[in-house]
Amino acid sequence: MLWTIVLFAGVLGLHRSFGAEADRGSLAALLLAPVDRSAIYFGKMAANLLFMLATELMILPILLVIFDVNLFRVWILVGLLLGTLGYVSVGTLFAALTASTRARETMLPVLLLPVMVPVFVAGVGLTAGILDGDTLMDVRNWLALLIVYDLIFIAIAYLVFDLIWEQA
């Protein structure tokens, strides 16, 4: 349930990250800003990360009350943070990619969800393992997958963000 809420809350928040600039026609003005374009990406990514973390902080106590399951365990929170970081790194990149399209609300989930499958499989595996009483050694592969995914996609986003903005 936790990861499903994260998935849908993220899609709703991510398409808005570049939506204001696209709706006002100010994408070109953002391009002319005297900053490195990667700073724009990382700024948007940080804002999306804060939005998602705030959403998750509201969801965790609600899930505790509804399902009587303590999700406030260190490795669940670490996995949630790593999963969210991977989600917003790819989501911010795809939000920039779809910002100037007419059907960005439809295109973003179509592009994003297949790429996010490894994050959600690893997140669910890690969460289920910790809730089942597994040790860190038992769930280390899920944790490693989340770390590697984050590193790869943050690096890819950093490298291709300039190219995406040139096309905008």
d(CA 77, CA 72): 7
Position 66 pLDDT exceeds 70: yes
> pLDDT tens digit string along 108-158?
899 999 999 999 999 999 999 999 999 999 999 999 999 999 999 999 999
Sign, CA torsion 47/49/52/55: negative
> pLDDT tens digit string along 86-103?
999 999 999 988 887 888
